[in-house]
Amino acid sequence: MKIYLNGDLVEKEKAMVSVFDHGLLYGDGVFEGIRLYDGCVFKLDEHLERLEYSAKAILLDLPLDRQQMAEAVCDTCRANNLSNGYVRLVVTRGVGHLGLTPDGCGPPSVIIIADDIQLYPEELYENGLKIISVPTRRINASALPPAVKSLNYLNNILAKIEAKKVGFQEALMLNDKGEIAECTGDNVFVLSKGVLYTPPLDAGSLRGITRGAVMDIAQDLGIPCREQALTRYDLWTAEECFLTGTAAEVIPCVEVDHRTVGNGQPGQMTQKFIDKFRQNVRQDGVKI
């Protein structure tokens, strides 16, 4: 496997960063997860725009412009003969001194990994996913804007561990008000009385690329879609529920906190979203 590392494509065994890189020492950096379908990088421009916004929010100057970053992503996919897979694009603050201050750090490190991925087993897409709410809360939006896709994922990791400890694949994360924020790496949608709902960004939700794609699909299907504060009660009593994410795509959720969602089977409308999303990903991409 070839890894893009600061302008070079190197074997994975030789892809190394300094132990003084602030991405390692402090989680100081940003990243994007991007999908590749049939040789096309899905919504690459949207991902790179979000990367730029995340970097700007944390005062990190990207060493490549958008066109150069896009070429680096495509070059990495080609170097690995990949036509379907997952791309992890990481930019760290770079090498610096011990201590929180980024003074003297740099230049930033750019790392691109292109590989296969399967986040959930295929049977969960057919039968639906069961999730559970966990004690670890999503970081307050006033402390760290959820739109910043940073390398600081410890609370999401703890939530995932808590769910796994009690036998669940995924955790439902609440904010400090007890409202639904998101799952550990996915956005949440529910369908109730013909309306599709998803938590607003200020509830602690990431501005997901797949989330946006699903909202566009809802418009195409003529289904009202509203960003609205949701509680666990709204998920417990929903007719249908599904999660969205770059790696997860669109996956049905059939149980929340031991409560059956709908009839306990993936809903008909959820299946329409899955089918439409899978159709769109092969039409809305950048050819490598």
The number of distinct structural domains making up the chain is: 2
Inform me whether the pLDDT recorded for 286 exceeds 90: no
Cα separation, 13 vs 120, in Å, equals 27
Please write the tens of the pLDDT for every residue from 156-180: 999 999 999 999 999 999 999 999 9
Shared domain check, 148 and 274? yes
User: pLDDT tens digits for 184-197?
Assistant: 999 999 999 999 99
**Rounded CA gap, 153 and 138, in Å?**
10
Instruction: Indicate whether 266 belongs to any domain.
Output: yes
Mean pLDDT of 4-29: 97
Q: Answer yes or no: do 20 and 130 share one domain.
A: no
What is the model's pTM? 0.94
Give the domain extent around 51.
Answer: 2-115
Give 198's strand partners: 227
Average of pLDDT values for 82-93?
97
CA 216 to chain centre: 17
The CATH number covering residue 275 comes to 3.20.10.10
Tally helices (H) and strands (E) across the chain.
8, 16
Domain boundary among 88, 115, 142: 115
Q: Which pLDDT belongs to residue 234? A: 98
Residue 86 shares a structural domain with residue 187: no
- Rounded Cα gap, residues 181 and 199, in angstroms: 6
pLDDT digits (tens, 9 = 90+) for 89-115: 999 999 999 999 999 999 999 999 999
Tokens 């009839």 -> residue: 263
Total Cβ atoms within 10 A of residue 85:
16
Please identify every residue annotated as catalytic.
149
Average pLDDT over residues 263-279: 95
How far is the C-alpha of 222 from the C-alpha of 185, rounded, in Å? 27
Q: Which residues of 127-161 are buried (b: 16+ CB within 10 A; e: fewer)?
A: ebbbbbbbebbbbebeeebbebbbbbeeebebbbe
Give CA separation, 256 vs 165, 170, 220, in Å: 16, 10, 28
Tell me the residue type at 123: E
pLDDT of residue 216: 97
For the cut 90, the answer to whether the pLDDT of residue 218 exceeds it is yes
- Return the SS3 of 156: helix
- Rounded CA-CA distance 281/213 in Å is 9
Segment 277-287 shows an average pLDDT of: 85
Asked if residue 231 and residue 140 are part of one domain, the reply reads yes
The average pLDDT across 70-87 equals 97
pLDDT at 285 exceeding the cut of 80: no
pLDDT score of 284 more than 90: no
Residue 118 pLDDT? 79
Classify residue 166: in a domain, yes or no. Answer: yes
Rounded to an integer, what distance in angstroms lies between the CA atom of residue 64 and that of residue 62? 6
Examine the pLDDT at 282 and tell me if it is beyond 90: no
* 67 φ, ψ (degrees, to nearest 5): -65, -40
Other C-beta atoms closer than 10 Å to the C-beta of 24 total 17
- Which domain CATH number covers 77? 3.30.470.10
Q: Does residue 14 lie within any of the structural domains? A: yes
SS3 assignment, position 9: strand
Give the pLDDT score at 141.
87
Based on the fold, state whether residues 20 and 75 are members of the same structural domain: yes
